[in-house]
Amino acid sequence: MNFFAEALQWLVDPANYVGLNAIPLRLAQHLGFTVVTLVIASAIAIPLGFLIGHTGRGRSVAVASAGAFRAIPTLGLLTLVALSIGIGLNAPYIALTVLAVPPILAGAYTGFEAIDRRTIDAARAVGMSEVQIVRQVEVPLGLPLLIGGLRSAALQVVATATLAAYVADFGLGRYLFAGLKTRDYAEMLGGSILVILMALALEGLFALTQRFVVPRGVLAGRPTDIRTRSSRPRPVMESAIEEGQKNVHSK
């Protein structure tokens, strides 16, 4: 409890709001790093995921390699990359992109796969070209799952972006490393709280986005249907025994 009080004190200490180690600066760096990583990862994963989802080809390869990529320890990868290209921000960008690609890729192709095949057949039947099908049917219908993939990627990246400070003077990770080594646990916990808050804020933002991107047609069909079914006054068909008895009587 004492630690928390000290950490909160650290968070409001005006001395931590000036200079090159100021909290707002570190927050902005951390957020910027997260956004850039997500953009790079999306540029790789979304087109690839759409291609896999639309054609249905290479799915098993994508599943297997995405699983393998997820298992790579980020710190180890970061060290390996930094050993070949040197310290600075490039190594963390590469390592974190590897972390962010699998969930986005999975979100992109599962979004396409979850669409009722009859919908796509119908689109094809009314004369839509393949490009039109992708743009006007598959992307809008698959969007909620894609945003879900982005949401999980953002959560992982914002938490792991602390590793950027391993090889660069960048982000909230600086508070964690410096606090740990100098036993300044207030600074360390304060830094962790900032990371948690940023993760929660991003999580909330993506949760909202996920709601808003559900196409109106899907939204109109889904929840109301469920409600009608649950508030049905009595079953249309009775239990198996009763149905059987009915048959006996009618004979």
Partner 1 sequence: MFTANRGRLALIGAVAVGAVVALAGCASGDPLGSGSSSSAESSTLVVGSQDYYSNEIIAEIYAQALEADGFTVDRQFRIGQREVYLPDITSGKIDVFPEYTGDLLQVLDDTATSGTPDAVYSALTKALPSGLQALDRADASDQNTWTVTKAFADKYNLTDIASLKNVTEPITVGGNSELETRPYGPTALSDKYGIVTAGFKPVEDGGGPLTVKALEDGDIQLANIYTASPAFDSGNLVALEDPDGLFFPSNVVPIVSAKVDDKAAAVLNKVNAALTADTLVALNAQSVNDQLAADKIATEWLKKENLI
Sorted by sequence, the CB contacts under 8 Å of residue 28 that are 6+ apart come out as none
Whether the CA torsion 33, 34, 39, 40 is positive or negative: it is: positive
Shortest Å distance, C-beta 31 to partner 1: 20
Place of tokens 């192709």: 109
Report long-range pairs for 126-129 (Cβ below 8 Å, ≥24 apart).
none
Q: Where are the beta strands (DSSP E) in the chain?
A: none
Sorted by sequence, the CB contacts under 8 Å of residue 79 that are 6+ apart come out as 166
33 part of the interface to partner 1, by CB under 8 A = no
User: Nearer to partner 1 by C-beta: 49 or 179?
Assistant: 179
Shortest Å distance, C-beta 110 to partner 1: 31
Round to whole Å and give the CA distance between 59 and 189: 42
Residues 38-77, one symbol each (x = binds partner 1 by CB under 8 A, - = not), give ----------------------------------------
161 part of the interface to partner 1, by CB under 8 A = no
Interface residue with partner 1, options 90, 128, 177, 203 (CB under 8 A): 177
Select from 134, 116, 150 the least CA-distant residue to 55: 134
Residues in contact with partner 1, total (CB under 8 A)?
16
CB 49 within 8 A of CB 109: yes
169 part of the interface to partner 1, by CB under 8 A = yes
Interface residue with partner 1, options 136, 182, 224, 245 (CB under 8 A): 182
168 part of the interface to partner 1, by CB under 8 A = yes
Structure tokens at 27: 């927050």
Shortest Å distance, C-beta 114 to partner 1: 34
User: Nearer to partner 1 by C-beta: 38 or 167?
Assistant: 167
Q: How many CA atoms does the CB half-sphere of 239 hold within 13 Å?
A: 2
Which helix (H) or strand (E) segment holds residue 199: the answer is: helix 185-212
Shortest Å distance, C-beta 153 to partner 1: 25
Whether the CA torsion 225, 227, 231, 237 is positive or negative: it is: positive
Shortest Å distance, C-beta 33 to partner 1: 15
174 part of the interface to partner 1, by CB under 8 A = yes
Interface residue with partner 1, options 94, 166, 190, 198 (CB under 8 A): 166
Shortest Å distance, C-beta 176 to partner 1: 9
Q: Site residues (CB under 8 A) for partner 1?
A: 79, 82-83, 86-88, 165-169, 174, 177-178, 181-182
